[in-house]
Amino acid sequence: MYDSFYNLKMMPFENTPDPRFFFQSEQHREALAAIEYTIRMRKGFVLITGDIGSGKTTVGRAMCERIGHSATIVNITHSHRDGESLIRQALRALDIRSQRNEDHGRMLERLGSYLLDRVNQACPVVLFVDEAQTLSDDALEELRLMSTFDTATQKAIQIVLIGQPELRQHIANTRRLAALRQRIVLAKHLRPLDQKDIILYVEHRLRVASNNPSVPAVRFEAGAYNRMQQTTHGIPRLINVICDNALLMGFVGETRSIGSAIVNRVIEDMVPNFGDDSDSGISTTPALGLTGTY
C-alpha cells in the first residue's frame, strides 16, 4: 500500500523468515557459521536457540539457501509426540519407500542404508528441525538414533535443532537426553538486538526493499529508534511490526521522515499486544501473544 510512496520494490518489514532480509549482526553471523561448520565438516548436531521473534528461523532459512545446491535438506516442521511419526516424515521427505505397518526397527534400517549409501557423496543429508522445543523426549531420542549411522570417519546425517530457550534447558537437565546432549558439538543462543544493531537492522531491511538502495526514500529518526528499543527490547519481530505500521502512518501523513511521535502513535494503537507502561501508558514489555517462527 505504501510501497510506491517510499519507492519500494517489496514490503520491508514482513514477519516472514525471508533470507533476503537476513541481517548479519555479530551473533547472527556466529550462529550461521556454527551451522555451516557443523554441516560442511560432517560433525552431527548443532543447536540454535533464542527467544520468540529473535531471528532463529531466518538464520536457518539463510543457511538452507546457502547450502541448498550442495546438500539434501529435510525440514521437520511438525510437533511430533513420538519417534515413529518423526522417522516416517523423514522417510517421506527423502523418498524412501516403507510399508504402512512397518515396525520401527525396519524403518531405521531403511534410513540407515540410505544414509550410508550417501555418506561418501559430496551432498550431505541435513535435517533442519524448527520449533524443536515442541518435540517430545521420544522424538528427540529418535533424532539421536538417526545420528548413530556413522562411518569410521564421519557422520552420515547432520541435524540442526532450532528452538526457544527452554529447549536448551530441557536438553541440559533431562537425564534421558544425556546421550543426545553429548552429540551436540556446537550451541549458540541468539540475544535481542542492542540499540546500535536495531538501527543497522532497520536500515538494512529498507535498503534491501528499496528500488534505490543507496538512497532509500524514507528514514527513521533517532527518537523513533529510542522508542523502538524501549518497547521491543530488541526483538526483531516486534521491530518489524512497529516499523510496518509506522510506514503506513507516515504514508497517510505524507511524510518520509518517521519520528518518535509516529512510533508512539503506533505503540499506543498496539496496547492489546504491548500492555501498559507506568509512565506513558505505553508498553515496555514484548508481546507474549506473538508466536510462531522467525
Predicted local distance difference test score (pLDDT) of residue 157: 93
Instruction: Give the model's confidence band at 274: pLDDT under 50 very low, under 70 low, under 90 confident, else very high.
Output: low
- Asked whether residue 204 falls in the same domain as residue 180, the answer is no
- Asked whether residue 174 falls in the same domain as residue 58, the answer is yes
Instruction: Give the model's confidence band at 287: pLDDT under 50 very low, under 70 low, under 90 confident, else very high.
Output: very low
For residues 220-232, average pLDDT? 96
Predicted local distance difference test score (pLDDT) of residue 134: 93
- Asked whether residue 163 falls in the same domain as residue 49, the answer is yes
Dihedral sign, Cα of residue 99, residue 100, residue 102, residue 105:
positive
- Asked whether residue 224 falls in the same domain as residue 239, the answer is yes
> Is 20 among the domain residues?
no
- Asked whether residue 175 falls in the same domain as residue 205, the answer is no
- Asked whether residue 233 falls in the same domain as residue 262, the answer is yes
Residue 31 has pLDDT above 90, yes or no: yes
Percentage above 90 pLDDT, the chain: 71
Asked whether the beta carbons of 139 and 133 are under 8 A apart, the reply is no
Residue 120 has pLDDT above 80, yes or no: no
Q: Are strands 157-163 and 125-129 parallel, antiparallel or unpaired?
A: parallel
Residue 249: all three cell numbers together: 502512518
Residue 273 has pLDDT above 60, yes or no: no
Higher local confidence (pLDDT), 246 or 272: 246
In terms of residue numbers, what domain contains 288? 1-15+194-294
Rounded distance, CA 185 to CA 150, Å?
A: 15
Predicted local distance difference test score (pLDDT) of residue 122: 75
Domain boundary among 166, 190, 214: 190
For residues 3-23, average pLDDT? 95
Instruction: Give the model's confidence band at 294: pLDDT under 50 very low, under 70 low, under 90 confident, else very high.
Output: low
Rounded distance, CA 163 to CA 63, Å?
A: 16
- Asked whether residue 212 falls in the same domain as residue 281, the answer is yes
Domain boundary among 175, 190, 205: 190
> Is 235 among the domain residues?
yes
Torsion of CA 288, 291, 293, 294, to 10 degrees: -40
Residue 222: all three cell numbers together: 533517532
Global pTM reads: 0.84
Asked whether the beta carbons of 143 and 176 are under 8 A apart, the reply is no
For residues 141-155, average pLDDT? 87
- Asked whether residue 10 falls in the same domain as residue 74, the answer is no
> Is 74 among the domain residues?
yes
Residue 66 belongs to domain with CATH number: 3.40.50.300
Predicted local distance difference test score (pLDDT) of residue 285: 38
The 10s digit of each residue's pLDDT in 50-68 is 999 999 999 999 999 988 8
For residues 151-158, average pLDDT? 85
- Asked whether residue 79 falls in the same domain as residue 171, the answer is yes
Percentage above 70 pLDDT, the chain: 92
Asked whether the beta carbons of 147 and 159 are under 8 A apart, the reply is yes
Predicted local distance difference test score (pLDDT) of residue 289: 36
Rounded distance, CA 292 to CA 272, Å?
A: 18
Domain boundary among 162, 190, 218: 190
> Is 21 among the domain residues?
no
> Is 139 among the domain residues?
yes
Residue 275 has pLDDT above 80, yes or no: no
Total structural domains within the chain: 2
> Is 40 among the domain residues?
yes
Predicted local distance difference test score (pLDDT) of residue 281: 39
- Asked whether residue 184 falls in the same domain as residue 237, the answer is no
Residue 290 has pLDDT above 50, yes or no: no
Residue 16 has pLDDT above 50, yes or no: yes
Count CB atoms within 10 A of the CB of residue 126: 22
Residues facing 73 on adjacent strands: 126
- Asked whether residue 248 falls in the same domain as residue 143, the answer is no
> Is 41 among the domain residues?
yes
- Asked whether residue 180 falls in the same domain as residue 259, the answer is no
